[in-house]
């Protein structure tokens, strides 16, 4: 069961404070067309050259998805933007696409005075991270691609305009929905098979932060136009294919054994894993046990398996 919720969400829901901790602050960084909301977790007194992770979220997600990773790495600076068209960056204008998101992340790093960082991307964020490393190679020391970053192989016969629902299911369908209050939105997510069965304080904060008041209605923050523009690039986008072809950074690809509905086969079935492992042998492939596409970053048992791969290049 989720906690009761009857009030409208404000700019920073109370549930967010319960999970982000006292190392957290939010920053608005200038990017093309406006400002980008960024969550920053950092040790007290951290210098600009302190160990830093740039964490890039998924296609309909927000920076709040990284709160568990930040909690597990209290000695590391974690910088996590809300991507253009999502979260509190939802009003930034298009065009969208992986090159735009990559350039936005580089602009955030410039604003914060950061040099190189480990780029950790989940889902679409992994694709953004590959393109970031290609377009801004001096800003990335290594890549950790979490259940994303390799081209998706869509189901046979799926038209381009149907790809989002075919791949994402309820996560895409919700963008056309409105909700009467926070409680109703939480209830929607409790029915989601990949998330609702193992509800945590982070789930509450993640869901609450995702709901915004838009034109007098409560709706998910992600812009449908951003979703549609971006998802097609996850199959055969030129910038992604170029980034993978010219990959020059150490990289590891962490894959979940279950998918976006907690189902098998996962987002990357065995045939897809084998294909991309053959085509990109310089990328290490690791299966993270007992997680799905969401819980690999949102539950501690997933994060505990991700963290060693993030820390390894930081120690180097």
Confidence of residue 5 (pLDDT cuts 50, 70, 90): very low
Q: Which residues of 103-136 are buried (b: 16+ CB within 10 A; e: fewer)?
A: bbbbbbbebbebebbbbbbbbbbbbbbbbbbbbb
Task: For residue range 156-194, list pLDDT tens digits in order.
Answer: 888 877 888 888 888 899 999 999 999 999 999 999 999
Res 4: pLDDT: 39
Res 165: pLDDT: 85
Res 243: pLDDT: 98
CA distance 297 to 195: 12
Res 316: pLDDT: 66
Task: For residue range 285-311, list pLDDT tens digits in order.
Answer: 999 999 999 999 999 999 999 999 999
Cα angle at 234 between 228 and 236, to 5 degrees? 110
Percent of the chain residues past pLDDT 90, beyond the cut:
84
Cα-Cα-Cα-Cα dihedral of 270, 274, 280, 283, to 10°? 60
Task: For residue range 104-159, list pLDDT tens digits in order.
Answer: 999 999 999 999 999 999 999 999 999 999 999 999 999 999 999 999 988 888 88
The structure's pTM equals 0.95
Rounded to a whole number of angstroms, the CA Rg of the chain reads 18
Domain that holds residue 67: 15-153+223-315
Q: What value does the mean pLDDT of the chain take?
A: 94
Res 171: pLDDT: 87
Task: For residue range 208-262, list pLDDT tens digits in order.
Answer: 999 999 888 999 999 999 999 999 999 999 999 999 999 999 999 999 999 999 9
Residue 35: inside a domain, yes or no? yes
Structurally, the chain folds into a number of domains equal to 1
Residue 189: inside a domain, yes or no? no
Res 126: pLDDT: 99
Confidence of residue 11 (pLDDT cuts 50, 70, 90): low
Residue 90: inside a domain, yes or no? yes
Residue 40: inside a domain, yes or no? yes
CATH number at residue 22: 3.40.50.1820
């Amino acid at each position: 069961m989720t906690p009761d919720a009857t009030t409208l969400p404000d700019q920073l829901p109370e549930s967010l404070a319960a999970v982000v901790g006292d190392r957290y602050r939010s920053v608005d960084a200038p990017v093309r067309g406006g400002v980008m909301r960024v969550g920053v977790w950092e040790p007290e007194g951290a210098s600009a050259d302190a160990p830093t992770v740039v964490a890039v979220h998924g296609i309909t997600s927000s920076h709040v998805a990284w709160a568990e990773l930040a909690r597990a790495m209290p000695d590391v600076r974690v910088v996590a933007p809300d991507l253009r068209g999502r979260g509190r960056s939802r009003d930034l204008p298009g065009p969208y696409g992986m090159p735009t998101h990559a350039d936005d992340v580089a602009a955030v790093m410039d604003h914060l005075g950061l040099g190189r960082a480990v780029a950790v991307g989940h889902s679409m964020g992994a694709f953004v991270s590959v393109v970031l490393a290609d377009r801004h190679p001096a800003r990335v020391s290594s890549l950790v691609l979490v259940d994303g970053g390799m081209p998706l192989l869509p189901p046979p016969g799926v038209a381009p305009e149907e790809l989002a629902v075919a791949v994402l299911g309820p996560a895409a369908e919700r963008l056309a929905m409105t909700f009467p209050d926070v409680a109703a939105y939480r209830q929607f997510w409790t029915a989601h098979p990949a998330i609702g069965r193992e509800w945590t304080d982070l789930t509450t904060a993640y869901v609450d932060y995702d709901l915004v008041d838009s034109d007098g209605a409560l709706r998910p923050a992600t812009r449908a136009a951003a979703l549609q523009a971006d998802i097609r690039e996850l199959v055969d986008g030129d910038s992604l294919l170029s980034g993978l072809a010219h990959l020059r950074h150490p990289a590891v690809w962490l894959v979940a054994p279950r998918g976006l509905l907690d189902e098998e086969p996962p987002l990357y079935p065995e045939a897809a894993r084998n294909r991309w492992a053959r085509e990109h042998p310089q990328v290490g492939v690791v299966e993270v046990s007992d997680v799905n596409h969401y819980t690999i970053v949102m539950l501690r048992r997933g994060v505990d398996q991700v963290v060693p791969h993030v820390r390894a290049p930081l120690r180097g």
